[in-house]
Amino acid sequence: MSRWSRVSLAGLSVVVVLLLVSSTLFLVGVSSADSSGADLAEAGEQRYIVNLDRPEATSSSELERISRDRTSEAAEKIDSFESADVVREFWISSSLLVEVESGVEELELLLDDPDVTSVRAESQVEAASAATVAVDDPVEAHGGHIYAWGVDRMSAPDVWSVYDSRGEGVKVAVLDTGVNVSHPDIDLYTRDPGDETYPGGWAAFNDTGYRIEGSTPFDHDGHGTHVSGLVVAGSESGAPLGVAPEADLMHAQVLGEEKTGTVSGVLAGMEWAVENEADVVSMSLGKEAEPVFIDAVRSADDMGVYVVSAVGNVGQGSSTSPGNIYETIAVGSTDEDGEYALFSGGEKIDSSDLWGEDRPDDWPDEYVVPDVVAPGVSVTGPWADGGYSAESGTSMSTPYVSGSIALAISAYEGSPERTNVVDSLYAGSISPYDEKNTEYGHGEVNAYETTQHLLNHATVTGRVKIDGGVVDNASVRLYGSDGRLVDEQRTDSLGGYSFAPLDTGEIYTVEAEKDSASGENQTSALPPGSTGLDVTLSEEAATIDVVGMHPVDLTVEPGQGFEVHSQVKNQASASVTENVSYRVESDESTEIEFTEVVEVGAGERHALKFDVDVTTLESGSYIHGVYTEQDEKTGNLLVSGGPVDAFFDDQGEPVDDGEVIQVLLKWKDTGDINGTKVDNAELIQLLLTWYGAVR
């Protein structure tokens, strides 16, 4: 059977299964904040998720504290209603699960509350996988390979050997149907090995998002054990099945026996994972577009947690939440040949069309999902019965990506900036296309390339501040040492910015401005990894500053001409006219000087070029630079030369035959000839003889 016919059949079977399941799962209505009373009344007695405005905060701890306070205040108000009860509060999404016993009056009151952004009926989520095929011999299932084909294709073993990283010290929280901890290839994290409830590594939640106290690890279905194993499974089967076998596995059971759960259960699982310091949250599940997940994903993202989720299995033109949230790392599937699987979801999302008023202001108008793809067709992994199975779906691809992130973070041996890790994930991915598209995203993840990229590139990250507070939506520009614009962006809600990947050893200048305030800061030569650099804005900006000069240090031959390029910037809030000079200076005086009068508009830059001729300069070392009235940029200029020159201090008196005379000989090394007076004795003797002859 050809590759295309094989993939097409696999994709078809998955699509059919999911469409049948979806016909029952998505009957639950969704009511937005502008829903009519009639729509709400038809819903009858059921549970609703009430979303509040997401708080603005300058730190993750402040975000959590403010969100907890707001949901608590809202809960007190809702509990005062006669027929409405708050079932659960979720700080991570600034929302509450509310049970309405009858009528619509209470819901209308909620919709009128200025702090409430939406009221939606609770709904279900499902696992993003399809048919299961039992596997007796995992090694045989992978053609006798020493690694599972997906693990091998992602170059995970190269990370293990080259960087000695298997995910140590990185916590990956899987949200799924549960996990079988007695499986020989599964090792679940716990803070207390003597406690069978696996504190810090296991949690089970019911449909309302309440944690089941005293629960011990189990798996409703097998799906959860399988996807957990694709992150951390060892080689008891004879072939390593997990990408990051020494990562710390956490598991939140949020899906039940039919591989379905609720939005509330998923929110509770995400909240638990963040509270227990997970580095990565991996979700092989989804549902139709669910705005409640937006704030949850953004909160986790703000706290430095990587949210990885399946894009869904209904083919091109589709996607599921939370995979289609802009900040989520959305994952699609490929087969053993690296071709995208036909069941794998993907689409270009119009932010306003899909999300309406729930769309955050800082999202782009359009974006593409998935972000990346990974192996997802006939992938072998552990199963809940203690054996193994081969499964297909974006469910399988998702833990592979989560494990790849764990490998890169572990190899970094520190705390890399989230932006740098994500950029490395995308830059290291391999695609047959030049641009991101709905089939491959940025490409198929390669764990080795991701890790190599992370370790060999630099990031500049920081916050823009003024008067002790952060500045959101500020314009931030990054310039190289030669004054060229490298990149630009706007700060996020916490005043943060991040530029990556950047060249190690380079010096960069970060400029920021908002309204009439501006400021800048400069790095030293960047080391690999992340460099923090905050920028403080000031209303009282300087006049014209020199923001770049190229070249800085150089060596030239006598008579050789060269060009110096520079940029100056007006830091003031009004146009400025000023003299800008280029000078070459020795220890004693200014040897060369050019002056140009420039007029620069408020906040604007002006480029200059100086043509320099060093014919008049003797060999030696000089300082050259560009100068304004209050600023300068300088460098070293070395003029190299030719051989030794010699000359005499002659008084012009006559000399008799046989008379001994004293002659003062001065000689200067004008080039690269090194030596002592003794070394040059023959040259001096020759010159004296010549002198006597010509007298």
Active site residue 176: yes
- C-beta separation of 410 from 167 below 8 A: yes
Q: 418-427 and 394-412 are packed helices; what angle lies between their axes, rounded to 10 degrees?
A: 120
Active site residue 645: no
Is residue 475 classed as helix, strand or coil in its secondary structure? strand
- C-beta separation of 360 from 294 below 8 A: yes
What are the structure tokens assigned to 19, written together? 């469409």
Active site residue 619: no
C-alpha 284 chain-centroid distance: 21
Q: What is the DSSP string of 412-425?
A: HTS---HHHHHHHH
Q: Which of 395, 431, 498, 518 is catalytic?
A: 395
Q: Which residue has the tokens 């001994």?
A: 660
Q: Which of 280, 302, 303, 300 is nearest to 169 (CA)?
A: 280
Q: Cis check for the bond before 370: say yes or no (omega within 30 of 0).
A: yes
Q: How many C-beta neighbours within 10 Å does residue 72 have?
A: 13
The angle formed by the CA atoms of residues 265, 266 and 271, to the nearest 5 degrees, is: 100
Q: Which of 223, 226, 457, 606 is catalytic?
A: 223
Residue type, 308: V
Query: CA 166 to CA 353: how far, in whole Å?
Result: 42
- C-beta separation of 343 from 315 below 8 A: yes
Q: Which of 176, 221, 248, 472 is catalytic?
A: 176
Q: Which of 315, 309, 368 is nearest to 344 (CA)?
A: 315
Whole-Å CA distances, 303 to 61, 132, 264: 8, 36, 20
How deeply is 197 buried, as exposed, middle or buried, from its count of CB atoms within 10 A (0-12, 13-18, 19+)?
Answer: middle
Q: Which residue has the tokens 């299961």?
A: 132
Is the CA virtual torsion 219, 222, 223, 228 positive or negative?
Answer: positive
Q: Which residues participate in catalysis according to the annotation? A: 176, 223, 395
